[in-house]
Amino acid sequence: MRLSAKDYAKAFVAATVDATRDEVRARAEALSALLRVRRQTGLTAAIVAEAERLQADRDSVAVTVTSEVALSSSEKKKLFESMGVDPGAVRLEERVVVGIGSGAKVQIGDRVVDATVSARLEALRKAFVG
């Protein structure tokens, strides 16, 4: 079975999560030897690129913002400042949903803050109706 560059990178990153520098070097040498044996050395650049991408994803915060219009640069900056995070450490996914009303719904990991007008109106309805 031939593995893809993504498969090798995923295994390498998983195997080096808590490794020391010497352990990472040893695992890289073992991977290099394996690629030579399997005659897949052509995958080396793709493996390195994918491993770097995976590591960057591990070091960043995933944030999803849902709003009726796309956020401006200044709105993104304010959002990151309010979260207390470096914009470079955020993987931002923006979702534009027509009809959601003003405001935004922000998801950071498992935590969701829904500050849309539709959510506020629903909360009011529940408060009055019970």
- Please name each of the domains of the chain with its CATH number: 5-58 (no CATH), 61-129 (3.40.30)
Alpha carbons 83 and 20: distance in angstroms, whole number: 32
- Report pTM: 0.54
Q: What is the pLDDT of residue 69?
A: 92
What is the percentage of the chain residues whose pLDDT exceeds 90?
Answer: 43
Least confident of 4-13, 19-28, 43-52, 72-81: 72-81
Give 43-47 contacts, CB < 8 A, sequence gap 24+. 43/4, 43/5, 43/8, 46/5, 46/9, 47/5, 47/8, 47/9, 47/12
Query: Which pLDDT band, with edges at 50, 70 and 90, does 81 fall under?
Result: confident
Average pLDDT, the chain: 88
pLDDT average, residue stretch 6-32: 92
Report for 54-58, 82-86, 96-100, 107-111: range of highest mean pLDDT? 96-100
- Residue 1's pLDDT is 73
Span 17-28, average pLDDT = 91
